[in-house]
A and B are shown apart, each in its own frame.
Chain A
Amino acid sequence: MTAGSRQVVLNKIRDGLGGITGEPAAGYADLPRTYQQHGSMSAALKLALMVERLREYDAEVVECAESALVATIAAQIAHSTRHLLTAPAGLPAPWLVDGVEWRVDHELSHKQIEEAEGVVTASFCGVAESGTIVLHHSSTEGRRVLTLLPDWHLCVVRATDVVETLPEYFARCAEPPPLATYISGPSATADIEMTRIKGVHGPRFLSVVLVRDEA
């Protein structure tokens, strides 16, 4: 049944487009792309914009130097007063700071992840213009469910991985990622009288550690 309708639909499309021929590739190359591809800000301004955008949607942001990263992660966790945390299997070992019960994701069940009070991950990059954090779900970013069920997400973003515009992120992808999640603020809804409410299903609290370059 499926195969039959496949041909029916494709034939109908072909008949409909009767007059149009030509290789898609040629037309594709000619598509207008005069929009802004590259950012124009200085590195400092770009980072300031990223921080501003993150704070606009109530994410907590702290900046630190590479050498202070582990201490900063520890401080953020302590400040959050959370004790049971989960982490992707590939998270750098020093980031699993003391004083917390860690559930490292070696095939954790959904229930085990759900029980965790928070999750600590790395990220693929950040987009300053929209304050977007990009996850490609590598071994340091964790599978998708890991950054979904816990109520608090502590995400490490490196300043060198912050781009200004969305096209700059796409330019960074040598290969399209099979999985990706773009996070631009905590879960939210405005379905009831356009009143913005935080925290419908995803993590209600997002905390970002922005790691500055070692100049």
Chain B
Amino acid sequence: MSAPGYHAVRDGHTVLDPRTAPPFPDAALTVLRNAQLRKNVACATDVIQGKRDRLVAEKADWSQLRDAASAIRAHTLEHLNEYLRQFEEQCTDAGGMVHWAADAEEARAVVLKILREEKADEVIKIKTMTSTEIQLNPFLQEHGIAAHETDLAEIILQLGNDEPSHIVVPALHVNRAQVREIFARTMGLPGLSDDPQALTAAARTYLRKMFLTVPTAISGANYLVAETGGVAIVESEGNGRMCLTLPRTMITLAGIEKVIPRFRDLEVMLQVLARSATGERMNPYTSLWTGVTPGDGPQRFHVVLLDNGRSAMLRREVERQTLKCIRCGACMNTCPVYRQTGGHAYGSVYPGPIGAILTPQLQKLEHAQTLPYASSLCGACYDVCPVKINIPEVLIDLRAQVTEKERESERRFFDPIYLGMLIANWVFASAARFSLAQRAARIGLWLFTRKDGWIHTLPSVGGRWTMTRDLRGMPKETFREWWSKERAR
């Protein structure tokens, strides 16, 4: 059994883990120098966002659907206990087994125990971000169980020893030439072309046998229906349907927030999800199943309900809204920061604006403290969010919490910004000190002001500002000085 401080390492390459990831600005800097990656990300996000915008525009009742989706999700979270208990009861009645996991460690242990009972040495997987959140694959590998991803993007990442950079199209940072190289090398196909059609066909062949022979599968869930105990999965490729239908045992790993009250609520959630996520009126395949159906699909079905920090986010409404998220990824595609850095810089399986608020909260702000600052607060994410999560509001709230935390930190006296703020506070408290400081700044900054009246470079901490922006030089006199002269006339 691994310790709570389990840090997965895969072939010497650290997997996305907010506890060990570098601060966002450092990680972003590396990415910003990678022209190929930036091009891939910009291209992919442009395409999805364009499709999404067209399909949202054609939907006359879009804002009403958003209102309904947001209200359904908020209502569910306010009654999460009741709905989870109802889901558990209904799913159990239908022949499913419901497990509860307080944290990642327990969820991994539950999954491993089931797989051991099944005597499984391999397992096929439908794309699930939750399993990446709990680092399930490397954990299973350490315990002698090979986890095979079956979503095309996830295969690209798994075979390429890479990490997801988007929650809907996880391999959007990889281009066709790179995919060709990975498939040719790992599937033993030296003659493979870089035509996406050929690459997809190679994946189809690679997986077909696996689908027909591996008897155990793991999935995530898009929705858990409390009323029926049913689980819904939306997908495009059909790998989900394969995994949900062919194996004899199915394990669904789902965050506790994934529940919705009734079957009928899918009429709202499915409409907003497909348009927001991939810019389609409806995704090619949606599967819904309830417990075990004799003669159809897996005859043993387990659901693992994962908390892992979620329940702590229920306390305050501003934080709770984060859990309304239906993982469509629209906020990433529209975010001016994500579009430049891609997903890896966020150091978490949840990147982009939603990741910037979800990850620090899941980490109880002990890690990922730089993520709430990975935003210009432009609000584009809030505009596109199908469940109306006010992401900028949460970002500002989290920034305040980070600052509060820093205030208690011992190391603050070595931080020039903290000291600067302390001094500024003292200076601004008195008019005399303030006008003295203005005069001092005029003399001090005069040294750095060029002939054009602008400051292009500043030393020390000031350089952080002038690194990307110019600063206007101080005026020759302040308004107050000018006013007292005017009045004296």
| A, B in one complex | yes
Q: How far is the CB of A112 from chain B (nearest CB, A)?
A: 12
B282:A201 contact, CB within 8 angstroms? no
**B79-118 CB contact bits vs A (8 Å, 1 = yes)?**
1111111000000001000011110001001100000000
B236:A188 contact, CB within 8 angstroms? yes
A170:B241 contact, CB within 8 angstroms? no
**What separation, in Å, do the CA atoms of A35 and B70 have in the docked complex?**
13
Select the stretch in A63-71, A77-85, A95-103, A125-133 that faces chain B.
A125-133
**B26-47 CB contact bits vs A (8 Å, 1 = yes)?**
0000000000000010011001
A130: which B residues are within 8 A, CB to CB?
274, 281-282
B313: which A residues are within 8 A, CB to CB?
16
A22: which B residues are within 8 A, CB to CB?
79
Given contacts A17-B78, A195-B196, contact A2 B284 (CB under 8 A): no
Given contacts A27-B75, A31-B75, A197-B196, contact A187 B64 (CB under 8 A): no
Task: Choose one: B175, B200, B241, B305; the contact of A9 (CB below 8 Å).
Answer: B305
A170:B284 contact, CB within 8 angstroms? no
What DSSP secondary structure best describes chain B's contact surface? helix
A12: which B residues are within 8 A, CB to CB?
102, 307, 311-312
**What separation, in Å, do the CA atoms of A167 and B270 have in the docked complex?**
10
A201:B239 contact, CB within 8 angstroms? yes
Q: How far is the CB of B446 from chain A (nearest CB, A)?
A: 53
**What separation, in Å, do the CA atoms of A2 and B203 have in the docked complex?**
37
A137: which B residues are within 8 A, CB to CB?
296
**What separation, in Å, do the CA atoms of A20 and B81 have in the docked complex?**
11
A189: which B residues are within 8 A, CB to CB?
152, 200, 236-237
Q: How far is the CB of B380 from chain A (nearest CB, A)?
A: 20
Select the stretch in B204-212, B343-351, B369-377 that faces chain A.
B204-212
A181:B228 contact, CB within 8 angstroms? no
A 1-41 contacts with B by CB, 8 A: 1-2, 5-6, 8-10, 12-18, 20, 22, 24, 27-28, 31-36
Select the stretch in B258-266, B359-367, B430-438, B473-481 that faces chain A.
B258-266
Task: Choose one: A14, A16, A181; the contact of B287 (CB below 8 Å).
Answer: A181
**What separation, in Å, do the CA atoms of A193 and B177 have in the docked complex?**
10
Select the stretch in A141-149, A154-162, A207-215 that faces chain B.
A141-149
**A89-123 CB contact bits vs B (8 Å, 1 = yes)?**
00000000000000000010011001000000000
A53: which B residues are within 8 A, CB to CB?
281
Q: How far is the CB of B203 from chain A (nearest CB, A)?
A: 7
B242: which A residues are within 8 A, CB to CB?
148, 201
B102:A8 contact, CB within 8 angstroms? yes
B290:A178 contact, CB within 8 angstroms? yes
- The residue in A16, A57, A148, A199 that gathers the most chain B C-beta atoms within 10 A of its C-beta is A16
Residues on B lying within 8 angstroms of A by beta carbon are: 40, 43-44, 47-48, 60-61, 64-65, 67-68, 71-72, 75, 78-85, 94, 99-102, 106, 109-110, 151-153, 156, 169, 171-172, 175-176, 179, 196-197, 199-200, 203-204, 207-208, 211-212, 225, 227-228, 230, 236-239, 241-242, 244-246, 256, 261-264, 266-268, 270-271, 274, 278, 280-291, 293, 295-297, 305, 307, 311-315
- By Cβ-Cβ distance, the 10 closest A-B pairs, closest first, are A202-B238, A16-B314, A201-B238, A176-B263, A184-B282, A12-B311, A130-B282, A187-B238, A24-B79, A130-B281
Seed contacts A17-B315, A190-B169; 10 additional CB < 8 Å A-B pairs:
A24-B75, A31-B75, A145-B246, A148-B238, A181-B287, A182-B282, A184-B284, A190-B278, A193-B43, A195-B176
